[in-house]
Structure 1
Amino acid sequence: MTVSSDAADRVHPAAAGPGFAAPVSPHWPDALLKFDAWLSRPRSARAVVAALSVYLLLAANWPLWLELSRIGGAPSVYLRWVGVMALLAGFGTVAVLSLTAWTRGMKPLWFAVVLLSAIAQHYMLTYHVVMDPTMAANAMQTDFHETRDLLSWRLVFNVLLVCALPAWGLLRVRLLPMRPLSQLWRNAMLCAAALAVVAASAVVTSRELAPLMRNHVTLRYMMNPLASLYSASAVVLKPLFTHSRKLIPISGGAALGASYAAQRKPPLFVVVVGETARADHFGLNGYARNTTPELAARQVISWPNVHSCGTNTLASVPCMFSHLGKEGYEGRKDDYETLVDVAQAAGLAVLWIDNQAGCKGVCVRVPTVSASEGLDAATRSALCDGDECLDDVMLKNIDQRLAALPAERRDRGVLLVLHQMGSHGPSYAKRSAPDTKRFMPECTTNVLADCSHGELMNAYDNSIAHTDRFLARTIDWLQAQSQRYDTGMLYMSDHGESLGEYGLFLHGLPYNIAPDVQKHVPMVAWFGDGLKAREHLSAACLSKGRDAALTHDNLYHTVLGVMDLKTPTYKPALDAFAACRGPAA
């Protein structure tokens, strides 16, 4: 008697050892028992990954189908696109999962893919984000407190809705054991066949597919789970295949300028790194609501036409403090010292106070402190919810922290950086104190789609109002230091935020397709009389040029200029205050 090669490769189920599911309760309904019996049939690993691919295509790609219907308008248009994208996403998933089509140890991995797909779909549907590598990097670097704001019962429900059936199926299915060599060539054949279908579909439909993907880049990051797997892999694996970055020093030659030789008082300059603030929601910039009355009362200067380096903290903050500018920073092959390194090398006292999820590598070589460290019980109770605190906490103990810096450096001057929690979403209501909530009612949930547009605007604007008060109190503190220092402050946000425009929420879209509201940021400066006299700085000149187009590229050179620090990396053309500083101004 002859035996087929496939049967010869297989091992009898009774010899498969552990891994078979126990029988279900006989008291279940007949239909459920029959369905469970069907799930429990012995199957090859390739059959399981094919079934999972079909299931994920149908259950975890609703953001993609909805976006295609929005773009296409008429069913006669978008249904063709849905068919093409279904072929690409479905067989693409088969090709990827075929690499895992082994009989042992794969069930947890398969369920992890389902779980990742369910979570990704929830956030794509809820906040209209896409799963590109930048978003994956943000997710991996987000701390617990930011993650907590994104958790909700709706998340649990949506994840269970997608995961329950495949979890049951993976628990009950019996995998047919097979010899490793036989599994290898069968998996390779499945992968090749799936890739052939993908390639053929792309070629046949290229006339429609090419312009669709070129004009709507976000679609490629909405194919689930392919986009999430690709983006997560890119973040994790890319460093392994790139050369090890070395730190390039740029602080050589850094020195104090001529103003320090005969100074009566050292400078104290504060750089406030804002978070998720939009320029068009600042009353100083013409917003219909007066969200910034405290700053307006302190005669600050606001620049309304400023754009960020990135659309997320991970991209923007290091770029802000770099001498390279956006293009140079994004194209760099090595890491470089930053603005705070140069200030420290020149001899100034430098301190970074953080109320965020870290400085993204900017402050690793200078003194750094978390704003929540060393708080007394009363202050923590008033300003903090667990380990997450309002930005006011950065001004607590600030005198002691300043005094703890080396005296010889303080006598030359101080550069102080305050990194805000600002308006970080989606829990905007947590970013303002009760006495700064002037716009009511506000959205109090992190599921923004559950709130009306007015409630969402109220919550966000209250967070801007709180930033207004925090900056005003920072100025007041600086004024109180004027007997000892020549003081000034520069505030600039790291990126903006989508608040429902075009159906988008939060931030982090790829820069080239992100809406302007995620890139258009506020910039505000205040100068004490001592610093203005020291630098011959004309406030009238600065006010006259406030409509100039600026970017994060300007921050490095502007701070060097106002602090009168000499270094070969300084570019006067990028110093936003250069034309208004000096005797001529």
Structure 2
Amino acid sequence: MFTLKTLKSNIKITHFVAILSVLNFLFFHFPFFKFVFNNLDYQSFSGITIIISLIILMLVLNAFMFYLFFSISSYFGKFLLTLFFIINSISVYFVNTYGVILDESMIGNVLNTKFEESSSFVSVKLFVYLIFFGIVPSIFIIKAKIIAVPWKNFLKTISLTLLFLLTIIFANASNWLWIDKNSKTLGGLAMPWSYSVNISLFYAHQYQKNQKEIILPNATIKDNQKSVVVLVIGESARSQNFSLYGYDKNTNPLLSKIPNVVHLNATSCATYTTAGVKGIVSHSDSGDLYEILPNYLFRNNVEVVWRTNNWGEPPVHIKDFQDRAFLAPNCEGEGCNYDELLLTGLKEQIQSSKKNKVLIVLHASTSHGPTYSKKYPPQFETFKPVCNSVELGKCSQKELINAYDNTIVYTDYILSKIITDLKELKDYKSSMIFVSDHGESLGEKNLYMHGLPLSIAPKEQYEIPFIVWTSEGSKKVKSVKSVTQYHVFHSVLNFLNIESPIYDENKNLFQ
């Protein structure tokens, strides 16, 4: 155990990295071992072996890596370890508070989060984590006087440590299957490698994805009938809280009374915004960077407008990309502070189009946490009391769900307003499609919000609403049991009567 006296005296590099490895283990790995204990038989011989081996590996491997950093340069080592402890403290706060796993998809979610959203997570508890687990250890790291070792001793230490690590790894050959099966989760909870490795993977894969998009075959507009589709991309909406889907609270008082509104059982292709939105505007789940729906239709002479009060969109290459800054000056009323901003002059913009085929995309943010109670105007606070804390675990389940349900009531209102506007466009055959990017956890299994790997995510994070309305005299919706986000692309082509070689009738919703 180190004391203030330790800060003033010289300390051997091997002792120093051992202390840091122990601190890193104690401060930041409770979630890691909680997962381990919950997912193996810790009373069996193999379970005990895995646990002991993971503890030894974590302590020794981290000490080994820290030793390498400080051997390169004392200043480099101090900078890197200070950074690690500060980021670790913030990371473990989110892991403990919201049950997230820092895999590559969650890192992408974090890196695509704007300040406006990230600031809503700030709490007293976050600062406590930062001070005690980040800043205090950092003072020890910065002030410590480290004794370097001769080159000969360095090589000896490195060689023996590597030999020891390899021995432990191969001694656990019989347990490799369990470790491999759970590697994604284990890797997402091991600090600091969860975020440092996955940040590198994220940018490497982003570089690959951001290569020039693959152009789809040209499309043909088959008639001159005026047609418009308003595609509303919801945020963090889960179907089980929509009364249209059988929820016992009336969260859809308006949509439930509108004729021609059809709700379909649907699942998302991911549990985070960037991948979910991309899935909604993609023609397939190939994983390649094909031309997305708005870009494709714009290139093929369709009027396309993308309005956003959110972020995380794939690259949109159209003339009319309208964000909050663009829309706000022409918006009036309290609703301008919320997603009603997206409806500003919507009907007028459609009517002013010089083209017969129109696609409007509205990217909303209504149900994104943790501040659900701030996502809707006060008059939509139908269910009370509500959770007002960013630390969702501090709220009762009832308060949390009430706040979330109010966002669904507000979504219901926005969708009904869109339908009302479209009904007034008598010259157009109109459709409104609402589909969410992903779902949301609200404390079930002690999980909050979204972003877990799809392979282990609970249904709350991927069962989403898919709601379709069509105007009188236009195409009707087929009777289908379930759909995915990839149905959007082909259904829009069909409704606008656009012929394309990549059109898939099996993914079309309209008769």
Q: What's the secondary structure of 2:251's corresponding residue?
A: coil
Q: What's the secondary structure of 2:417's corresponding residue?
A: helix
Question: What are the ranges of 5 or more consecutive residues in structure 1 without an aligned counterpart?
Answer: 1-30, 581-585
- Say whether residues 1:236 and 2:203 are aligned partners: yes
- Say whether residues 1:147 and 2:96 are aligned partners: no
Matches within 5 A, 1:374-453: 374-376=327-329, 379=332, 382-383=334-335, 389-399=337-347, 401-402=349-350, 407-409=353-355, 412-453=356-397
Cα distance in structure 2, aligned partners of 1:188 and 1:311: 45
Pair 1:564–1:311, CA change in 2 (3 A): same
Cα distance in structure 2, aligned partners of 1:40 and 1:403: 75
Structure 2 residue corresponding to 1:220, chosen from 162, 180, 187: 187
Cα distance in structure 1, aligned partners of 2:260 and 2:64: 58
Aligned-pair CA distance for 1:142: 0.8
Cα distance in structure 2, aligned partners of 1:449 and 1:377: 39
Aligned-pair CA distance for 1:307: 0.8
Q: Please name the residue that 2:462 is paired with.
A: 519
Q: Please name the residue that 1:572 is paired with.
A: 505
Aligned-pair CA distance for 1:188: 5.8
Q: What's the secondary structure of 1:373's corresponding residue?
A: helix
Q: Please name the residue that 1:312 is paired with.
A: 272
Q: What's the secondary structure of 2:54's corresponding residue?
A: helix
Q: Please name the residue that 1:50 is paired with.
A: 18
Aligned-pair CA distance for 1:145: 1.3
Cα distance in structure 2, aligned partners of 1:105 and 1:280: 51
Aligned-pair CA distance for 1:208: 4.5
Pair 1:144–1:301, CA change in 2 (3 A): same
- Say whether residues 1:62 and 2:45 are aligned partners: no
Cα distance in structure 1, aligned partners of 2:177 and 2:157: 26
Matches within 5 A, 1:117-132: 117-132=88-103
Aligned-pair CA distance for 1:303: 3.3
Pair 1:243–1:514, CA change in 2 (3 A): closer
Cα distance in structure 2, aligned partners of 1:43 and 1:159: 26
Aligned-pair CA distance for 1:84: 2.4
Aligned-pair CA distance for 1:556: 0.8
Cα distance in structure 1, aligned partners of 2:206 and 2:362: 30
Cα distance in structure 1, aligned partners of 2:273 and 2:241: 19
CA deviations on 1:423-450 (whole Å, 9 max, x unpaired) are 1111111122211111111111111110
In structure 1, what residue type is equivalent to 2:271?
Answer: T
In structure 2, what residue type is equivalent to 1:555?
Answer: V
Are the aligned partners of 1:270 and 1:417 in contact in 2 as well (CA < 8 Å)?
yes
In structure 2, what residue type is equivalent to 1:351?
Answer: V
Cα distance in structure 2, aligned partners of 1:484 and 1:418: 22
Q: Please name the residue that 1:551 is paired with.
A: 484
Aligned-pair CA distance for 1:286: 0.8
Cα distance in structure 1, aligned partners of 2:368 and 2:31: 24
Are the aligned partners of 2:487 and 2:507 in contact in 1 as well (CA < 8 Å)?
yes
Q: What's the secondary structure of 2:434's corresponding residue?
A: strand
Cα distance in structure 1, aligned partners of 2:299 and 2:504: 18
Aligned-pair CA distance for 1:105: 3.6
Q: Please name the residue that 1:282 is paired with.
A: 242
CA deviations on 1:7-48 (whole Å, 9 max, x unpaired) are xxxxxxxxxxxxxxxxxxxxxxxx9xx932222222354543
* % identical equivalent positions: 26
Q: Please name the residue that 1:357 is paired with.
A: 311
Are the aligned partners of 2:271 and 2:438 in contact in 1 as well (CA < 8 Å)?
yes
Q: Please name the residue that 1:114 is paired with.
A: 85
Are the aligned partners of 1:293 and 1:468 in contact in 2 as well (CA < 8 Å)?
yes
Cα distance in structure 1, aligned partners of 2:311 and 2:362: 13
Q: What's the secondary structure of 1:502's corresponding residue?
A: helix
Structure 1 residue corresponding to 2:218, chosen from 236, 253, 257: 253
CA deviations on 1:247-305 (whole Å, 9 max, x unpaired) are 2211x421211x32xx3xx1121000111111111100111111111111112433342
Aligned-pair CA distance for 1:496: 0.6
- Say whether residues 1:91 and 2:47 are aligned partners: no
Q: What's the secondary structure of 2:58's corresponding residue?
A: helix
- Say whether residues 1:204 and 2:148 are aligned partners: no
Are the aligned partners of 2:327 and 2:341 in contact in 1 as well (CA < 8 Å)?
no
CA deviations on 1:438-464 (whole Å, 9 max, x unpaired) are 111111111111011111111111111
Q: Please name the residue that 2:407 is paired with.
A: 463
Question: What are the ranges of 5 or more consecutive residues in structure 2 without an aligned counterpart?
Answer: none
Are the aligned partners of 1:300 and 1:524 in contact in 2 as well (CA < 8 Å)?
no
Paired positions, count? 508
In structure 1, what residue type is equivalent to 2:62?
Answer: T
How well do the aligned residues superpose, as a CA RMSD in angstroms?
Answer: 2.7
Pair 1:39–1:416, CA change in 2 (3 A): same
CA deviations on 1:86-142 (whole Å, 9 max, x unpaired) are 122222322333331122343222110111111111111101111101111111111
Aligned-pair CA distance for 1:190: 4.5
Cα distance in structure 2, aligned partners of 1:403 and 1:528: 16
Cα distance in structure 1, aligned partners of 2:221 and 2:175: 61
- Say whether residues 1:159 and 2:150 are aligned partners: no
Aligned-pair CA distance for 1:73: 7.4
Pair 1:451–1:244, CA change in 2 (3 A): closer
Pair 1:300–1:452, CA change in 2 (3 A): farther
Pair 1:576–1:95, CA change in 2 (3 A): farther
In structure 2, what residue type is equivalent to 1:508?
Answer: G
Q: Please name the residue that 1:5 is paired with.
A: none
In structure 1, what residue type is equivalent to 2:23?
Answer: Y
Cα distance in structure 2, aligned partners of 1:490 and 1:267: 14
Pair 1:397–1:538, CA change in 2 (3 A): closer
CA deviations on 1:454-497 (whole Å, 9 max, x unpaired) are 111111111111111111111111122x2343222111111111
Q: What's the secondary structure of 1:418's corresponding residue?
A: strand
Structure 2 residue corresponding to 1:508, chosen from 451, 456, 472: 451
Cα distance in structure 1, aligned partners of 2:305 and 2:97: 38
Pair 1:195–1:234, CA change in 2 (3 A): farther
Cα distance in structure 1, aligned partners of 2:230 and 2:154: 60
- Say whether residues 1:344 and 2:298 are aligned partners: yes
Are the aligned partners of 1:423 and 1:460 in contact in 2 as well (CA < 8 Å)?
yes
Q: What's the secondary structure of 1:495's corresponding residue?
A: coil
In structure 2, what residue type is equivalent to 1:226?
Answer: W
Aligned-pair CA distance for 1:500: 1.7
Cα distance in structure 1, aligned partners of 2:163 and 2:420: 67
Cα distance in structure 1, aligned partners of 2:257 and 2:324: 27
Cα distance in structure 2, aligned partners of 1:86 and 1:460: 40
Pair 1:232–1:187, CA change in 2 (3 A): farther
Are the aligned partners of 1:282 and 1:464 in contact in 2 as well (CA < 8 Å)?
yes
Pair 1:177–1:92, CA change in 2 (3 A): closer
Pair 1:400–1:93, CA change in 2 (3 A): farther
Cα distance in structure 1, aligned partners of 2:210 and 2:345: 39
Matches within 5 A, 1:531-550: 532=474, 537-538=475-476, 542=478, 545-546=479-480, 548-550=481-483
Q: What's the secondary structure of 1:115's corresponding residue?
A: helix
CA deviations on 1:549-577 (whole Å, 9 max, x unpaired) are 21112111111111111111111121122
Cα distance in structure 1, aligned partners of 2:264 and 2:154: 58
Structure 2 residue corresponding to 1:454, chosen from 398, 404, 412: 398
Are the aligned partners of 1:267 and 1:486 in contact in 2 as well (CA < 8 Å)?
yes
Pair 1:188–1:227, CA change in 2 (3 A): farther
Structure 2 residue corresponding to 1:267, chosen from 227, 231, 255: 227
